[in-house]
Chain A
Amino acid sequence: MTAFWKEYAENRVALVALAVVLLVVAAALAAPWIAPQDPYDLANLDLMDARRPPGFVGSSGYAHWLGTDAQGRDLFSAILYGLRISLQMGLVAGASAMAVGALLGILAAHAGGWVEGAIMRVVDLQLSFPAILLALVLVAVLGQGKAQLVIALVAAQYAYFARTAYGAATAERQKDYVEAARATPLPGWRVVLRHLLPNCLPPLIVVGTVQVANAIALEATLSFLGLGLPPTEPSLGMLISNGFQYMMSGRTWISVYPGVALIIMITAINIVGDQLRDQFNPRLRR
């Protein structure tokens, strides 16, 4: 573990990215305490403050460092709350997709035969089909809401995990320790969970990191198209979408700052994922 951390710390960019990710997570967790206002308590909003540029000192007596939106909401506070929702969706969807995908992939590798054929056929078919379309259709069919969105994101993403887990598990199952475990009278699920799964985890973690970033981006895209979360749960995508109509009149901050927050988060997660992939990949070891 120490050696792993030492190797990670050698890459300055990855180190900074990790710090950014931790900072964003901390800010999202602490949003109710560090945001200057609760952006969704209507009593706090004053329409006189609406669409003010960054740095404007509003009627509540403090400066809106990132400006305000069309309802007179402090944009910094709205972004912190938006981060919270975006991150939550990304993590829940990513983790669920990983659980479903890993299970299916390992099951396919372990069971073999027609089970293997059926699962991997579907997975391959889905991998060739763009995730955004599938998510779009599911949201359209299931309706809007947090649970529906998670289902749509999981359905769009589990295939990546299934492919990865399947690849890792087929390589592992030929090794002697799995052979030995199978020879014992232990039940099949125990061999899968205690022996096969832990050895498939490193590649899954790498895919998981990247897929959390993808889930956040996908959620933001769906919300931007008006097919994501309901307006009562504004993620970053919806903040950007709300500001889009004011862009042409030069009030660019309403869209731009939430977008900057989104990009910083996604890019940082992707860089961490890249570094993890390089470290887990034995071919790149010096």
Chain B
Amino acid sequence: MLGFLIQRLLQAALVMLAMSALVFLGVYAIGNPIDVLISPDATQDIRAATIRAYGLDRPLWEQYGVFLGRLLRGDLGRSFVFNIPVLELVLDRLPATLELALASVLIGAFVGVPLGIYAGYRPDGALSRGIMAASVLGFSVPTFWVGLILILTFAVNLGWLPAGNRGETVRVLGAGWSFLTWDGLQHLALPALNLSLFKLAMMIRLARAGTREVMLSDTVKFARAAGLSEWTILRRHVLRLIAIPLVTVFGLEFGSTLAFAVVTETIFSWPGVGKLIIESITALDRPVMVGYLVLVAFLFVTINLVVDLAYAALDPRLRRRARA
């Protein structure tokens, strides 16, 4: 297990290095940062001084070296717009996004998996067909459109739930959390539901496919022959056998949920990092763009690593293959 761990850690570090180079090249080298940093009516001297101060006159690889060195020390630069360190800005907004993403992934898992198992257990039932039709819609319909319809239905027409912001928050561990107050929960409901629809559809499909396969296997035949109740078979055998792919997808989807939060946060004015990145793209706030991308890449690599390790813990064959 230790060898496996080291191997995966090295891989993650390499991916992180490649990502930082890509982000650096993408955001810093393609556009011209000088145009953004210096006002057009600055004198020639101020221009030259600023270029030197930011090290923009040095070769690209050297600039990347400086960028990387700062990155390792946790220095992501200062936001042009807010004039505070990027790391501070992003960390300030991150809890809102994490809360939203976690809520929607949980909805996806705890609603999607049971529905999917049911649809796989009774593939020809009317309810199963309904579930599957709904999951096709969940895949096809763009997130932002569903968000609009949710606002229209529950906020405008019915007036049951608020359509924007986080509501009342409680500060725990230095960050505000909405899910701890009734008002905050009400604000969380619509955006979390909106963001979860895609995962929901995916969990339903995966759980259904897995269940259908397992139900035909010898394991289930023996369990039935042994006189176990259908409920016990589903819970003890089917759920356990379909768990491995579900855990993987669950983990990987958490990362993409963070990314897709961009859309949901914009619609519901949820003050998270997704809304921040859209604002910084419109305002050409490069340090924030870079900081966000590096952090997301880091989260992705970490999640992939954790999923791989969880996978290895669940399936011993993988550990042995890695050792060989």
Known interface pairs A137-B26, A142-B30; A267-B141 also in contact (CB < 8 Å): yes
Q: Is A140 an interface residue (CB 8 A)?
A: yes
The residues in A between 26 and 79 inclusive whose CB is less than 8 angstroms from any CB of B are none
Of A137, A226, A247, most buried by chain B (CB within 10 Å of CB) is A137
CB proximity of A24 to chain B, nearest CB, Å: 14
Cβ–Cβ < 8 Å partners of A138 in chain B: 26
Q: Whole-angstrom distance between the alpha carbons of A5 and B156 in the complex?
A: 46
Closest-by-CB residue of A relative to B258 is A130
Cβ–Cβ < 8 Å partners of A213 in chain B: 140
CB proximity of B8 to chain A, nearest CB, Å: 14
Q: Is A224 an interface residue (CB 8 A)?
A: yes
The residues in A between 215 and 260 inclusive whose CB is less than 8 angstroms from any CB of B are 217, 220-221, 224-227, 240, 244, 247-248, 250, 252, 255-256, 259
Cβ–Cβ < 8 Å partners of B262 in chain A: 132-133, 136, 225
Q: Whole-angstrom distance between the alpha carbons of A272 and B119 in the complex?
A: 22
Q: Is B252 an interface residue (CB 8 A)?
A: yes
Q: Is B144 an interface residue (CB 8 A)?
A: yes
Q: Is B31 an interface residue (CB 8 A)?
A: yes
Query: Are the C-beta atoms of A137 and B289 separated by less than 8 Å?
Result: yes
**Interface size on A (CB < 8 Å)?**
37
Q: Whole-angstrom distance between the alpha carbons of A263 and B23 in the complex?
A: 34
The residues in B between 193 and 222 inclusive whose CB is less than 8 angstroms from any CB of A are none
Query: Are the C-beta atoms of B296 and A133 separated by less than 8 Å?
Result: yes
Query: Are the C-beta atoms of A140 and B141 separated by less than 8 Å?
Result: no
Query: Are the C-beta atoms of B140 and A266 separated by less than 8 Å?
Result: yes
Q: Is B277 an interface residue (CB 8 A)?
A: yes
Query: Are the C-beta atoms of B27 and A141 separated by less than 8 Å?
Result: yes
CB proximity of B27 to chain A, nearest CB, Å: 6
Cβ–Cβ < 8 Å partners of B142 in chain A: 217, 220-221, 262-263, 266
Q: Whole-angstrom distance between the alpha carbons of A125 and B297 in the complex?
A: 11
Closest-by-CB residue of A relative to B303 is A128
Cβ–Cβ < 8 Å partners of A255 in chain B: 148
The residues in B between 251 and 275 inclusive whose CB is less than 8 angstroms from any CB of A are 252, 255-256, 259-260, 262-263, 266
Of B143, B145, B281, most buried by chain A (CB within 10 Å of CB) is B145
Query: Are the C-beta atoms of A263 and B145 separated by less than 8 Å?
Result: yes
**Interface size on B (CB < 8 Å)?**
40
CB proximity of B162 to chain A, nearest CB, Å: 12
Query: Are the C-beta atoms of B141 and A266 separated by less than 8 Å?
Result: yes
Closest-by-CB residue of B relative to A143 is B31
Cβ–Cβ < 8 Å partners of A263 in chain B: 140-142, 145
Cβ–Cβ < 8 Å partners of B145 in chain A: 220, 240, 259, 262-263
Question: Which of B31, B137, B278, B293 contacts A225, CB < 8 Å?
Answer: B278
Closest-by-CB residue of A relative to B257 is A130
Q: Is B152 an interface residue (CB 8 A)?
A: yes
Query: Are the C-beta atoms of B141 and A247 separated by less than 8 Å?
Result: no
Q: Is A149 an interface residue (CB 8 A)?
A: no
Q: Is A129 an interface residue (CB 8 A)?
A: yes
CB proximity of B263 to chain A, nearest CB, Å: 6
Question: Which of B143, B152, B266 contacts A247, CB < 8 Å?
Answer: B152
Q: Whole-angstrom distance between the alpha carbons of A132 and B18 in the complex?
A: 19
Main secondary structure on chain A at its contact with chain B? helix
Closest-by-CB residue of B relative to A263 is B141
CB proximity of B293 to chain A, nearest CB, Å: 6
Cβ–Cβ < 8 Å partners of A256 in chain B: 148-149, 152
Q: Whole-angstrom distance between the alpha carbons of A274 and B139 in the complex?
A: 12
Cβ–Cβ < 8 Å partners of B156 in chain A: 247-248, 250, 252
Cβ–Cβ < 8 Å partners of B300 in chain A: 128-129
Closest-by-CB residue of A relative to B18 is A125
Cβ–Cβ < 8 Å partners of A220 in chain B: 142, 144-145
CB proximity of B221 to chain A, nearest CB, Å: 22
Known interface pairs A217-B142, A244-B148, A247-B156; A141-B31 also in contact (CB < 8 Å): yes
Query: Are the C-beta atoms of A221 and B26 separated by less than 8 Å?
Result: no
Cβ–Cβ < 8 Å partners of B15 in chain A: 125
Cβ–Cβ < 8 Å partners of B252 in chain A: 128
Cβ–Cβ < 8 Å partners of B281 in chain A: 136, 139-140, 227
Q: Whole-angstrom distance between the alpha carbons of A137 and B26 in the complex?
A: 8
Query: Are the C-beta atoms of B255 and A240 separated by less than 8 Å?
Result: no
Question: Which of B27, B136, B143, B282 contacts A137, CB < 8 Å?
Answer: B27
Q: Is A165 an interface residue (CB 8 A)?
A: no
**B→A interface (CB under 8 Å):** 15, 18, 23, 26-27, 30-31, 136-137, 139-145, 148-149, 151-152, 156, 163, 252, 255-256, 259-260, 262-263, 266, 277-278, 281-282, 289, 293, 296-297, 300, 304
Q: Give me 7 other A-B pairs in contact (C-beta within 8 A), A133-B293, A225-B263, A256-B148 excluded.
A: A128-B252, A128-B304, A225-B144, A227-B281, A247-B156, A262-B142, A271-B136
Query: Can you list 23 pairs linking A and B with CB atoms under 8 Å apart?
Result: A125-B18, A130-B255, A132-B263, A133-B259, A133-B262, A137-B27, A138-B26, A139-B281, A140-B289, A141-B26, A141-B30, A220-B145, A224-B144, A225-B263, A227-B282, A240-B145, A247-B148, A247-B152, A248-B156, A255-B148, A262-B142, A263-B142, A267-B136
